[in-house]
Copies of this chain bind each other. A is one copy, B any other.
Amino acid sequence: MDQLLTPTELAVAGERMHRLIADVYPICRSITGDGIRQTLRRLREQVPLEIHEVPTGTQVFDWTVPMEWNIRDAWVKNSADEKVIDFRRSNLHVVNYSVPVRRKMSLAELREHLHTLPDRPDWVPYRTSYYQENWGFCLAANELARLQEGEYEVCIDSTLEHGSLTYGEYYLPGRRTDEVLLSCHACHPSLCNDNLSGVALVATIAELLSNVTLEYSYRFLFIPGTIGSIAWLAQNELQASRIRHGLVVACIGDSGKFHYKRSRRGNAEIDRAVVHALKYSGEEFEVRDFSPYGYDERQFCSPGFNLAVGSLTRTPHGQFPEYHTSADNLDFVAPQALAGSLAIYLSVLRILDNNACFHNLNPKCEPQLGTRGLYRALGGMADAGQFEMAMLWVLNLSDGDHSLLDIAERADLPFNLILRSAQTLADQQLLGRVSPTAI
């Protein structure tokens, strides 16, 4: 994996990701059902992913795959037979996983099932009730205020039946069977930054890497949150043990600064690679320690797996006002932000894929770089050039124990420069690569 994208290629990719988001934005996704299936089918136009079905009732560790939920329509009508809440206008109006209901009731009774955001009176919240049978509607606080006393008719035309949980998976083999994992959740309905930005980014990376020679094998997961990662881990324990580095991808399309949440291990290679890439990116960023709340890193980092999986987002979940509301819409995610996120992800993967330990084959004193045309001939100037410094660092620290990333960190030089200088020295037979199995 060698080439990164040019600014123009990045801009094109950003626009394309935004179009993908727009395509699947209207679909009513949930943790099961036709919404996620339809979304995965759209992704297959770009990535040849496999679509897996895990039947309702399957035991996955402490959990059970739930009934499959589907919904055709839902509304609330007032006594004048006007639809005052209408699923067709926004799928956020229905509490996700609502059981079917068709009944008349007073406003007082209805109100028990209505959810609003008093602080953001124009926005519709997103609510779910996956694991407890319930039904409800979400609406803007201003809409609720306009409802008059009287009788209302409620209809949720949903089904909750034996079926399956659906997820998408794409495996890209590299030279090693060791894996890099990129995982995103694809279970939220019309929410753009939270879920669709991650889906679009992972699909785009999968597409790009499929044209490249890779050191690691790469696995891309498009799964329902929590239950999806639990199901995947339960059914792929052996495969999971091959994951060396991983990232949970989400909230990557807003214009906020980057936030990296470390893996449970705290200083794994993935943690250091992300921090290094961000440091040299020119982007603003913040690094946070692991905590057991968030997205599917909760499962990948559970103590029985303890995988080196972090999460790289822009504004983290729950920390932008639009989070889990109707305001997380197509305007909230920008092609430019998606392109910038893609650039960072690619530099992280480039570090992981190229990181290696070398042996200085001439470890006693420096080799004579000048006779090999690698060092300026005229002496006496105060400074070495940056490339000369990078070669000296690589030679000095290539004792088999320091990886290129270790060297870049200690030299305070970009990985890219260290990598190029190591390649130059290896071409001159001054460095020998330590086989990865020996690490």
Contact = CB atoms under 8 A, between A and B. Distances in A.
A282 interface: no
A368 B131 contact: yes
A384 interface: yes
A37 interface: no
Given A61-B362, A368-B63, A378 B134 contact: yes
Interface stretch (A140-148, A215-223, A228-236): A228-236
Interface string A370-392: 11000001111111100001001
Contacts of A60: 365
B389 A293 contact: yes
A380 B230 CA distance: 19
B134 A363 contact: no
Contacts of A130: 379
Interface centre among A229, A366, A379, by most chain B C-beta atoms within 10 angstroms, is A379
A305 interface: yes
Contact of A363 (B302, B318, B366, B396): B302
Q: Bin chain A's interface residue count.
A: 35 or more
Interface in A267-313: 289, 291-293, 298-299, 301-306
A322 to B, nearest CB: 11
25 contacts: A61-B364, A61-B365, A62-B368, A127-B378, A127-B379, A127-B380, A131-B368, A131-B370, A131-B377, A134-B377, A226-B366, A233-B364, A234-B364, A234-B365, A264-B396, A292-B389, A292-B393, A298-B396, A302-B360, A303-B395, A303-B396, A304-B363, A304-B365, A317-B382, A324-B381
Given A230-B365, A292-B389, A318-B382, 20 more contacts: A61-B367, A63-B365, A95-B378, A128-B379, A128-B380, A129-B379, A131-B368, A131-B371, A132-B377, A134-B378, A226-B366, A289-B410, A291-B393, A291-B411, A293-B392, A302-B363, A303-B395, A304-B364, A304-B365, A324-B381
